[in-house]
Amino acid sequence: MPPATPSSSSVGDSDEDIPTESMVSAEADREAISAKLSSAQPFSPTSLRPDLHPRPELADALDPVAQADQDSTAEIAANAPRYRRKSSTFIDGIHDVTNDGNALAPAQLYSTMSGRLFHSGRIVIVMVGLPARGKTHICVSMARYLSWLGVKTRIFHLGDYRRATVPGGAVPDDYFFPHASPSSVMLRQKILKKCREDIYAWLNHENGQVAIYDAVNPTASGRRSLAKEFSKHDVQTLFLESYVDDERILTENARNVKISSPDFAGMDPDEAARLYLKRIGAKIPVFETMEEKELNYVKMINAGQKFFYNNVSFGYLSHRIVFYLTNLHIKSRTTFFVRAGTTTEEDSFKADAPLGEEGRAYAAKMSETLLQHREQERQAMLGNSKADFPLRPLTVWTSTRLRTIQTADYLKEKGYKVRQRSQMSQLNPGVCEKMSERAIRALYPEEVERHEVDPYHHRYPRAESYHDLAVRLEPIILELEREQNDLLIIAHESVLRVLYAYLMHCSTMDIPKLKFPRDEIIEIIPAAYQNEAKRVHIPGLDPNLVPGSPEDIKIPVPQSGGIYAVAGGGGGGGGSGNMSPMPGLSSPAEPQTATGAATGAPAASGTPVPSGTGVESPLRPPEKVVNTAADMVADKVADED
């Protein structure tokens, strides 16, 4: 997996993360901080307030003081997604806050003083729809695309604020009722107020351009009030409803996303899905679909089968959003990334050599591992269910390079559909291709200096930058969103870096460092709250194919003093870690050890064989190492907001 960045993953890492009104006195602050520094312990929100638990529902026991402070602004601040910090590139960063607010996005074409693009003002996208309709999936996907283009976008999940305000996230039974009790109405308004305060803070004080408000918003009167309130603050409102009346889609959404609650443990998945939908109908008895003619809205019907638009005519950005939505769907599917096999001669951007004998053997082993893994996943999904779930169709995408096409031949012969994409050709290295690092530094010292400052946007003479590649891949990204089959992408490592960065919301500084070992299949599963990454080991490969391959390009040039893994040579074990020009980094799905070194595989899987021995890596069953992101959002999947 990609490496962990130095920043901390805990919420409330610094003083500015805690709202002013929740601060204790300045003197108490100084005393607490001094005590903390003297004890050499890491700082956390509880260092100033021992009674403040970042996750109230996980606290062992709350004393009376803490209980009284449960609904404080500081408590909400500690839980709100706006205060998260990115910790690792193997975790989807769509809800993280970047450390550099002025950093350019991967596909951003220009910047402005205000930080807002496309001559568009501030926009709030208000989600509408009952639970299990794919609202969160839609708004997260939309935020991913807009952020990729450079539009400053943030998601505000009302469920996050409810969990921060109410211990355990359990609300009164009449919480969603239109004629709820006074206490429920007050609680509801309190949660809504905190969420909207953060929306206004984002738009007014942090130069945000698009805020996505993720909630049910069931009544027409409530939606009219929202639009009126936002217009008073000179904010345009676009409502987006996900309307689903297809029972098959509803059951699949509930089964895939909502039934991981302990309430449904051990139940048949289909029966649990039906019970969940029945429970939602009881908890939210009134829902009015969007028909307000005076409002700007888009109605997405049955996962994109139909669209209705009303008054969506307030600038280029709104049309760009609608265009993206027409390519989006909420159906479950998986994307796999693999590299092409090795060729008969030294790889070159200009040459187009066929696969060698080793390359064809790699293609066969990779394909068999993938097919076996998909069947294992299907069996795991069946679980206790009596129904039989057929495997989703698999589509294969390759570039137009001969080595990627031939890597897919094994699957093509088995009847799988293979499509070629010219935009997926590798990054053009320019005149520096095949030059040694010493030669590049001698001939282009100024270019090397620029590259070390910004390896993402810099381009060597007659070469492409990663930014150029990201812009070139935008049609591929839209097709990727539109694809409903499981998808295998066979491409050069530079292309995989950019596509992986889009799906996992990596920063521009991370992209040139991502690594895709040839002995691994990287699997991305689009989930509702954030994507999940896995890796599947390909057993039985010659280790000489893994640490260094002719496909590796000698740029980006590592910084002065860096260790460079020579293509085709040694320099490390046969695990995941040494076939990228950037040292000390791990593959996209693999966290680093405490020492910062990349690990090849879990210890239980066996010791990697050093390269150059000519001995195949130890045979072991295909493994899947799931990232910890799923555990981080386990309390969010059963949301009813």
Domain end among 296, 331, 366: 331
Distance separating alpha carbons of residues 629 and 56, to the nearest angstrom? 20
Is residue 279 domain-shared with residue 384, that is, in the same domain?
A: no
The three-state DSSP-derived secondary structure of 60-94 is CCCCHHHHHCCCCHHHHHHHCHHHCECCECCCCCC
**Can you list the positions of beta strands (E) in 451-519?**
486-491
610 pLDDT higher than 70:
no
Residue 336, class by beta-carbon neighbours within 10 Å (0-12 exposed, 13-18 middle, 19+ buried)?
buried
Question: Residues with Cβ < 8 Å from 638, sequence gap 6 or more?
Answer: 258, 259, 260, 261, 276
Residue 500 confidence (pLDDT): 95
- Is 391 inside a domain boundary? yes
- Is 96 inside a domain boundary? no
Is residue 298 domain-shared with residue 358, that is, in the same domain?
A: no
Quick one: tokens of 582?
């950037």
Is this prediction's pTM over 0.85? no
Give the domain extent around 256: 106-331
Span 23-50, average pLDDT = 38
DSSP three-state, residue 281: helix
Is residue 50 domain-shared with residue 148, that is, in the same domain?
A: no
DSSP three-state, residue 473: coil
pLDDT one-digit tens code per residue, 93-111: 787 766 665 678 899 888 8
* Number of structural domains found in the chain: 3
Is residue 540 domain-shared with residue 570, that is, in the same domain?
A: yes
Q: Which has more confidence, 73 or 385? A: 385
Span 49-55, average pLDDT = 35
Q: Residue 602's domain is classified under what CATH number?
A: 3.40.50.1240
Distance separating alpha carbons of residues 52 and 34, to the nearest angstrom? 19
- Is 540 inside a domain boundary? yes
- Is 482 inside a domain boundary? yes
Contact call for residues 101 and 116 (beta carbons, < 8 A)? no
Out of 23-32, 59-68, 391-400, 524-533, the most confident range is 391-400
Is residue 21 domain-shared with residue 67, that is, in the same domain?
A: yes
Q: According to DSSP H, which parts of 505-567 are helical? A: none
Q: ∠ at Cα 84 (82, 89), nearest 5°?
A: 125
Q: Which letter does DSSP use for residue 22 in this model?
A: G
194 pLDDT higher than 50:
yes
Name the CA dihedral angle for 346, 425, 370, 88, rounded to a multiple of 10 degrees: 100
473 pLDDT higher than 70:
yes
How far does CA 347 lie from the centroid of its chain? 32
DSSP three-state, residue 55: coil
Contact call for residues 5 and 89 (beta carbons, < 8 A)? yes
How far does CA 640 lie from the centroid of its chain? 22
66 pLDDT higher than 50:
no
- Is 340 inside a domain boundary? yes
Residue 279 confidence (pLDDT): 76
Residue 628 confidence (pLDDT): 46
Is residue 321 domain-shared with residue 369, that is, in the same domain?
A: no
Is residue 509 domain-shared with residue 625, that is, in the same domain?
A: yes
> Which active-site residues does the annotation give?
214
Name the CA dihedral angle for 434, 436, 440, 442, rounded to a multiple of 10 degrees: -140
Domain end among 85, 117, 148: 85
Residue 496 confidence (pLDDT): 96
Residue 521 confidence (pLDDT): 95
- Is 90 inside a domain boundary? no
Parallel, antiparallel or unpaired: strands 335-339 and 520-525: antiparallel
250 pLDDT higher than 80:
yes
Tell me the C-alpha to C-alpha distance, in Å, between residue 536 and each of 6, 268, 327, 346, 369: 27, 28, 29, 27, 8
Residue 390 confidence (pLDDT): 82
* pLDDT-based confidence at residue 47 (cuts at 50, 70, 90): very low
Is residue 434 domain-shared with residue 512, that is, in the same domain?
A: yes
Say what percent of the chain tops pLDDT 70: 66
Span 183-199, average pLDDT = 91
In this structure, the number of other CB atoms found within 10 A of the CB of residue 1 comes to 28
- Is 155 inside a domain boundary? yes
Is residue 77 domain-shared with residue 138, that is, in the same domain?
A: no
Distance separating alpha carbons of residues 103 and 115, to the nearest angstrom? 10
pLDDT one-digit tens code per residue, 486-507: 999 999 999 999 999 999 999 8
Amino acid found at 545:
L
Is residue 445 domain-shared with residue 344, that is, in the same domain?
A: yes
Is residue 38 domain-shared with residue 111, that is, in the same domain?
A: no
Phi, psi at residue 240, to the nearest 5°? Answer: -130, 110
Average pLDDT across the chain, whole number: 73
Q: Residue 204's domain is classified under what CATH number?
A: 3.40.50.300
Span 565-581, average pLDDT = 32
Domain end among 85, 114, 140: 85
412 pLDDT higher than 90:
yes
Residue 116 confidence (pLDDT): 80
342 pLDDT higher than 80:
yes
Q: Which has more confidence, 133 or 627? A: 133
Half-sphere exposure of 378 (CA within 13 A, CB side): 14
Residue 276 confidence (pLDDT): 80
Weakest mean pLDDT among 73-77, 136-140, 209-213, 492-496 = 73-77
Is residue 47 domain-shared with residue 136, that is, in the same domain?
A: no
Span 177-206, average pLDDT = 90
Quick one: tokens of 545?
């194919």
Question: Residues with Cβ < 8 Å from 74, sequence gap 6 or more?
Answer: 18, 19, 22, 45, 49, 52
- Is 99 inside a domain boundary? no
Residue 115 confidence (pLDDT): 77
Distance separating alpha carbons of residues 116 and 146, to the nearest angstrom? 12
Residue 266 confidence (pLDDT): 66
pLDDT one-digit tens code per residue, 611-626: 333 444 444 544 444 4
In this structure, the number of other CB atoms found within 10 A of the CB of residue 443 comes to 13
Distance separating alpha carbons of residues 154 and 143, to the nearest angstrom? 7
Residue 300 confidence (pLDDT): 92
